[in-house]
Amino acid sequence: MKDKNAPPSETREFMVFLVKLAFFVVILRSFIVSPFNIPSESMQPRLMVGDYLLVAKWPYGYSKYSMPFSIPVIPKRIFANTPEPGDVAVFKAPPGARDDYIKRVIGLPGDIIQVTNGILSINGVVVKHEKIGDYIHAVSPNSPCYADYFETTNENGDRICRYPQYRETLPNGRTYKILDINEASEGDNTQSFVVPDGHMFLMGDNRDRSADSRFPAKEGEAIGMVPQENLVGRALVSVFSTDGSAEWIKPWTWFTAARWDRIGEDFE
């Protein structure tokens, strides 16, 4: 007969702890914040390959896309909020809504968006676009130069990439930096897009290297107009960044590869 006064099994206590921990992680990732790492250069200069950030789940409300693996426990968006132009948003990319993408919100329902000779206009008004100092970053495994002619060296002889950089200011006053690498690229001249109800027009800050709402949605490539119901969350803060030079068998490289100056940057 089992002694009711016997201490609980250590194995049972450990299993209960694991269940509670898993429940906490699911709640945290579904409703508060989730991690996201940058896989491409489409959001340079704000985001680089090897950046890790936290995505806030609460700003836009919750849906099945808030849940890990898009588990359909929430049938529709609840506590829904419309993003603001200029927000850096994470979303499930059309047409399949399987992959997470990150872009900047440019237009909302009813807005008319067009790009002419690389200059953005919203509702017929040209968006302020001013040249600023070049964007410079070190050459690394995660961040090679787009082409050889962008590569040079700094005063210390270190290899760097140097790109033309501009500051863009939206009608609501939100301002951010963009890259315009090529003088004439496929996305520099577009038709006029009217953003449909319940959708968003999004663009990457690296305008010549972003398959965004300027192009028709195609699985694994461009995204077209994105339904707001596909929103996952808003970029919150950078928590780590690596240049890709670390090796697992050389622990000291975990520190030398870190881009410490990029850690802690927010998105306001």
Average model confidence (pLDDT) across the chain = 90
Q: Is residue 3 part of a domain?
A: no
* Mean pLDDT on 193-216: 96
Higher per-residue confidence, 260 vs 25: 260
Exactly one of 103, 140, 238, 241 is catalytic; name it: 103
Decide if 218 is catalytic: no
pLDDT for the residue numbered 4: 58
Q: Is residue 9 part of a domain?
A: no
Percentage of residues in the chain with pLDDT exceeding 90?
Answer: 71
Q: Is residue 17 part of a domain?
A: no
CA dist 112 to 99, 120, 141, 222, 237, Å? 27, 11, 39, 19, 30
Number of domains in the chain: 1
Q: Is residue 12 part of a domain?
A: no
Q: Is residue 13 part of a domain?
A: no
**Cβ atoms of residues 242 and 179 within 8 Å:** no
**Among 16-25, 48-57, 76-85, 88-97, the least confident range:** 16-25
pLDDT at residue 26 is higher than 80: no
Question: In this predicted model, what pLDDT tens digit does every residue of 64-98 receive, in sequence order?
Answer: 888 777 778 787 888 889 999 999 999 999 998 88
Q: Strand pairing of 226-227 and 199-203?
A: antiparallel
Q: Is residue 223 part of a domain?
A: yes
Domain span including residue 130: 23-262
254: domain CATH number?
Answer: 2.10.109.10
pLDDT at residue 263 is higher than 80: yes
Question: In this predicted model, what pLDDT tens digit does every residue of 142-190 receive, in sequence order?
Answer: 999 999 999 999 999 999 999 999 999 999 999 999 999 887 788 999 9
Exactly one of 42, 66, 213, 241 is catalytic; name it: 42
Q: How far is CA 57 from the centre of its chain?
A: 13
Nearest to 112 by CA among 191, 48, 51, 184: 191
Nearest to 225 by CA among 216, 234, 233, 235: 216
